[in-house]
Structure 1
Amino acid sequence: MPWWQWVIDVAGLLLLGVLLYGLALVLRRRWLARRGGTFEVSHRLHQQRPDRGWVLGMGRYTEDSLEWFRVFSLSPRPRSSWRRGELVYDGRREPQGPERHTLYPDHLVICCQSRGEHVELAMSPASLTGFQSWLEARRPGTDWSR
């Protein structure tokens, strides 16, 4: 078999692999969204350098926690999770500098605290409204003095 046929075979296999990966990502997203309560949210994983460390993802509300999944991962498990009772909203800001190019165009940066740890998320204004409502909607009998 000539070398160029090997190249075509390898290119075809790579293309098939990319298509299968894309299909798996779409199916995973549909599977995660079937429970509802999902939205686009970016999470700042690495906070050592300002304006860096953002990763695109998808958030999902469960009864008592917010789960965050990477967009380009095939894992069915969340990469990060925050419990509603431990998450405190500190405020929001506009993306600055290189963040404007990293994040979705209309997203705002949300600053929170969870167990003494600084958490930064980026979401649309509509998702922020839902996030704030979710934070405030606690079960009956919750200690509101905290």
Structure 2
Amino acid sequence: MPLWQLLLDAAGALLVLVLVYGLALVVRRRLLSRHGGTFELSYRVRSERAGRGWLLGLGRYSGEQLEWFRIFSLSPRPKRSWRRDALDYTGRRDPEGTERMSLYPDHTIVRCLSAEGDVELAMAPTSLMGFQAWLEAAPPGTATTV
């Protein structure tokens, strides 16, 4: 078999793999959002360097937890989750410098305090209103500050 045919077969196989991966991402997102309560949510995993460490993802409210899924992962399980009673809203700010290019357009950065330390999330203003309402709607007897 000539070399050009092998290269063409390899390119075709690579294209099929990329298409299958893309289709799997779409199916995963539909499965995650079928019960509602999902929204675009970025999470800052590393805060050592200013403006760096952001990962795009999806957020989903699941009872008393906020679950975070990486956007380009095929895993059906959340990468991180935070309990409502262990998450305190401390403020918000607009993206600065390189953060504007790392995050979805028009997202606001939210700072929270959890048992593990500071948590920075980025979400749309409408999602922020839902997030604050979710924190405030904690069951009676739990202390949250919003």
User: TM-score band, normalised by the shorter chain?
Assistant: over 0.9
Aligned residue number for residue 141 of structure 2: 142
Q: TM-score, normalised by structure 1?
A: 0.96
How far the C-alpha of 1:104 sits from its partner, in A, is 1.1
The letter for the 2-side match of 1:21 is Y
Stretches (4+) displaced over 4 A:
none
Gaps of 5+ in 1: none
SS across alignment from 1:41:
strand
Is it true that 1:18 corresponds to 2:18 in the alignment? yes
The letter for the 1-side match of 2:132 is Q
SS across alignment from 2:11:
helix
Distance between the aligned counterparts of 1:3 and 1:67, measured in 2?
Answer: 48
Number of aligned pairs?
145
Aligned-pair identity in percent equals: 59
Q: TM-score, normalised by structure 2?
A: 0.96
Aligned residue number for residue 90 of structure 2: 90
Q: CA RMSD of the aligned region, Å? A: 1.2
Pairing 1:1-146 to 2, within 5 Å after superposition: 1-139=1-139, 141-144=140-143
Distance between the aligned counterparts of 1:96 and 1:103, measured in 2?
Answer: 10
Deviation track 1:76-128 (CA, whole Å, cap 9, x = no partner) reads 11010000000000000000010011111100000001105110000000000
Distance between the aligned counterparts of 1:69 and 1:93, measured in 2?
Answer: 23
The letter for the 2-side match of 1:101 is M
Gaps of 5+ in 2: none
